[in-house]
Structure 1
Amino acid sequence: MEGLEKTYKVVDLKKSYGELKVLDGINIEFKSGKVTAILGPSGSGKTTMFNILMDNIEDFSGEIIGFKDCSISSIFQEHRLIQWKSVYENIEFVLKDKIQKENLKGIIDKYLNLVGLKDYIDYYPKSLSGGMKQRVNIARAFAYPSEVLLMDEPFKSLDIRTKNDIYNLFRELMINSKRAVILITHDIDEAVALGDTIVIFSDKPTKIKAVIENKKGHESNVKNQIENIM
């Protein structure tokens, strides 16, 4: 649960599809309270690793440490909201088996307020913009009592202004969070904006080209460093 300090790892992770080698010996440590951005070109195996961590792929070699016995929440590129449920009901749906009934409303209200949607609790997804739908996703993911948050290209379809607003919101939510966050992205700006550690993947067969610690206040230098590597 949130509040526990844990470390999560992939050790010598390998995955092939027939003769096609996708992941070739990946070693990464993910830390509680930190965002690890996995950055690489399309088709570099990022989503394959995401699906292994989500337990959607079982046929691989290597070790996955810490993920099997932890709770995981996720945010995808698609909003994946239930169309016939309101904003409030979408969050309630994933929390109802995890949170005591008398505490549900307070928790949902708290996170909708944090993402700026307290006045939209009765709205349905069809009435929301793309950015608002992702705010609901973020509220739902942070309200859920998880130890790990996995995000697969979550802001890919948003315009630049909306992305920047979401980045600021996400950073605020992470201030007091103990979750280990894993962000899959092909966007250098996104990796620099959100990642505490940036892991750069090569093309297939995928290896790690570099691991960069993203020191706040040095974002432009970090971006230049990444561009030189990629």
Structure 2
Amino acid sequence: MDVRIEQVVTSGTITLDETEYDVESNTYIVGDDDEVIVVDPAYDADAILKEVGEREVMAVILTDGNEHHLNVVLEVAAAGEEDEDNFAPIALHRADRLLWRDFFSRLAKEEDDEDDAKALRSLEPDIWLEDGGVFEIAGVQLEIVHTPGHSPGAVCVISEQLGVLFSGDTLHRNRPGSIGGQFEDLRKQLNSIGALLTPLPKDLRVLPGQGEETTVGEEDARWESWGELARDGEQD
């Protein structure tokens, strides 16, 4: 099997509820010598496209619609092409459409050219992700699992052939995923994590949106203890 997974780590900031957080994000490039799918580009399009090289970007999958996954998505989808017909399709879950529209509406306000501003306001993802949807790259399948909680449209991506789970910011090593320790809907997120992990092989690698990799077994063993985080949040 020629298919491989490459990782690019980038860093920047994200603003949530008027608070700015420093974030170090993992972008994953899945494919072979000819074509790839990019999962969660963030902050540094040049670094990501340098790793892609001359290979064709077949799709860009966003595991959520938060701004750090949107700030370079157009550049990565374009991959140096000038003709929009050659841009890679961008995929996002429909439940994060509001996050997408908020982000590109803010960009539109910064544009002096009204045509460019109008284009940004009308921009939509090319593919709406659905639970159970499948992408294929270099002979392997990537299955989408809707895991709401971190955001309404958060998803994870499973490839049993590669033995990996791309968990985005739904699940990080040793903890439920978060931005700056802040949770959108932790109880829903924990339910999604539990439903996700239970049927999966315990030795499946987990490649998260932030931090180091782990395994399904390691995180499944910790999952129940995270309920205390949700109870503490309800008492605050």
Same fold judged by TM-score > 0.5? no
**Alignment TM-score, normalising by the size of structure 2:** 0.34
The alignment's TM-score, normalised by the length of structure 1, stands at: 0.35
Question: In proportion to residue count, which structure has more strand?
Answer: 2
